[in-house]
Structure 1
Amino acid sequence: MKYSLIAIGSTLGLCGGVLAYNLGRPKIDEEGNIIEDEFSTLPTIRQFFRRLLSQIEYYNKMIKEPSRDKLLPDPVSYPYIQPPYTLVLELTDLLVHPEWTYQTGWRFKKRPGVDKFLEQVGMPNFEVVVYTAEHGTSAYPILDSLDPNGYILYRLFRDATDFIDGHHVKNLDCLNRDPRKVIVVDWNQNSVKLHRNNAFLIPRWKGNDDDTTLVDLAAFLKTIASNGIEDVRDVLSYYGQYDDPIEAFRENQRRLLEQLEEKEKLEKQRKQNPPLTSRWSQGLLNKR
């Protein structure tokens, strides 16, 4: 056991030394000549350590910050159609749920109603974007299978997130869209902590087959679109006070329906039983 640990430690130390050497040594062109950089005028040892630190900072920044300043292309202009709202969706445990068994290995289960949901929230009202901390290599084939009709216009993966306090965070500042028109649907508050007012946090889906969340979510989003909400953050902030905003939306819709039914009932009664003064007026004004 002791010798095994020594062997493992020696191997790791050797690998670390080789990695440090490759990061700290000067770059060489195709002909084997040293390429000069900002550290070339320093003493050899200082050159090595300055390059090493520079490379470490570079890779650290690459991990922590989005891979590019603009995650989405510029909005299109007329005569092309640019949807008024941008809908940003998480992939894992919102649209699909990962499951693992000895027989099948990893498989991804589609959430009930996801096909209809994507159809309802696509063009022309919403520009649908999947923005996830999953790696592109694993998420791309899942999305290809999930969305054969192309309702999802853009796909953003882990390299497009900020790495903050151990969490991959979605940075809407790099989205290249008006934040007043961006809705982020997620279940993880850590992934949206930079722009909490743009988030619509719903409970995490755990793979149950009786789930109907996407039906109500589609209704909520279509309500925003049909009302032409100027700043979605006002609506999202209101629903952000609830642990389950979908349930709160259902309750608000139920109350609204009751109010409309009561109003319709009163209006019907008024027409059937007009006030006495109204009947007098009709009698006085009727011509024979």
Structure 2
Amino acid sequence: MMSGMGTFLVYIWGSPVVDLNGNSIRDEFSDLPLFRQYFNRTLQGINDMNKMIQEPSREKLLPDPMQEPYIQPPYTLVLELRDILVHPEWTYETGWRFKKRPGVEFLLHHCAPPLFEIVIYTNEGGFTAYPIIDHLDPNGYVWYRLFKDSTRYVEGKHVKDLTCLNRDLNKVICIDWDDNAVSTSRNHLGLKRWDGNMEDQSLFELGFMLRTIAESEVSDVREVLDYYRSFDDPLAAFRENQRKAHEHELLLSQKTQAEKQYNKVATSWTPSFLRRR
């Protein structure tokens, strides 16, 4: 039974390609003995299928950066869809549906061009993800959408290969809850996996954090991400740093005001003939 099935597959996969008139088209196996021709074509077909499954669908997942007079945002923001922006839930009343995380609109709006070009890069299939993204992003802030066929299949897992984005990795930030789902860990910022809790505020804080990074015009975002990955909660660390920065600015402002007030008082008590004319 199995040998018969194998012979059938070799016959189907190993047959030469024919033209419109039914004539065989020569290939690199045409000069081999007949069995070797069929066997080698079958192996090639299997290898091509494995490559199609395991590797991204194309070498460059995004088109080349835009040139003047068009505006190319300096940074690229890559977002996972499932459990970052939406969460699947099932009920008897509705069946499966995707719940939107609080702050999705805020995040997209605050990171929209000209700061970032936004890419949703997900392990979901395009048939499932495309209408969800349409619903999440009516304003078109998301420039590109990459699905499961754009991932690299490694050891039973679909991995986002950021080296295929056709972008400078110094300027790429990828947000995902799975540390192992991104090929280049230095470009990855982990966010807590959303379980559907509508009290969650993470995307609001993330929007502030990403906008601050972009407006700071850092030359290599990976150095910033390296720092924040050293904390268990990067968003909490960013919030604490912002609080300290605000306190520092407040102290500087108070110091400046005190110095101005002191100079004003000192001037008023200085005899007129000692004042600089």
- TM-score between the two structures when normalised by the length of structure 1: 0.87
Partner of 2:46: 56
- Residue 135 in structure 1 maps to residue 121 in structure 2: no
1:147-166 map, 5 Å? 147-166=137-156
Partner of 2:181: 191
Q: Which digits, 9 at most, give the CA deviation of each residue in 1:23-82, with x for residues without a partner? A: 222223333322322122222222222111111111111111111111111111111111
Partner of 1:238: 227
1:170-209 map, 5 Å? 170-192=160-182, 194-209=183-198
Helix, strand or coil: the match of 1:214? helix
Task: Give the whole-Å Cα distance in 2 for the aligned partners of 1:210 and 1:97.
Answer: 14
Helix, strand or coil: the match of 1:200? strand
1:204-223 map, 5 Å? 204-223=193-212
What is the deviation of 1:279? 6.0
Task: Give the whole-Å Cα distance in 1 for the aligned partners of 2:152 and 2:75.
Answer: 23
Decide whether aligned partners of structure 1 residues 32 and 106 sit closer, same or farther in structure 2, where only a CA change above 3 A counts: same
Supply the AA of the counterpart residue of 2:44.
S
Decide whether aligned partners of structure 1 residues 245 and 14 sit closer, same or farther in structure 2, where only a CA change above 3 A counts: farther
Q: Does the CA-based 8 Å contact 2:62-2:165 persist in structure 1?
A: yes
Q: Does the CA-based 8 Å contact 2:10-2:39 persist in structure 1?
A: no
Decide which of 73, 82, 85 is 2:72's aligned counterpart. Answer: 82
Task: Give the whole-Å Cα distance in 2 for the aligned partners of 1:173 and 1:110.
Answer: 29
Partner of 1:35: 25
Task: Give the whole-Å Cα distance in 2 for the aligned partners of 1:91 and 1:13.
Answer: 44
Decide whether aligned partners of structure 1 residues 273 and 161 sit closer, same or farther in structure 2, where only a CA change above 3 A counts: same
Supply the AA of the counterpart residue of 1:185.
I
Helix, strand or coil: the match of 2:24? coil
- Residue 169 in structure 1 maps to residue 159 in structure 2: yes
Partner of 2:248: 259
Gaps of 5+ in 1: 1-9
1:2-151 map, 5 Å? 18-151=8-141
Gaps of 5+ in 2: none
Decide whether aligned partners of structure 1 residues 252 and 17 sit closer, same or farther in structure 2, where only a CA change above 3 A counts: farther
Q: CA RMSD in A?
A: 2.4
Aligned positions, number: 276
Q: Compare 86-95 and 163-172 and name the one that shifted more.
A: 163-172
Decide whether aligned partners of structure 1 residues 287 and 38 sit closer, same or farther in structure 2, where only a CA change above 3 A counts: closer
Helix, strand or coil: the match of 1:203? coil
Decide whether aligned partners of structure 1 residues 273 and 163 sit closer, same or farther in structure 2, where only a CA change above 3 A counts: same
Decide whether aligned partners of structure 1 residues 37 and 227 sit closer, same or farther in structure 2, where only a CA change above 3 A counts: same
What is the deviation of 1:237? 1.0
Task: Give the whole-Å Cα distance in 2 for the aligned partners of 1:74 and 1:14.
Answer: 49
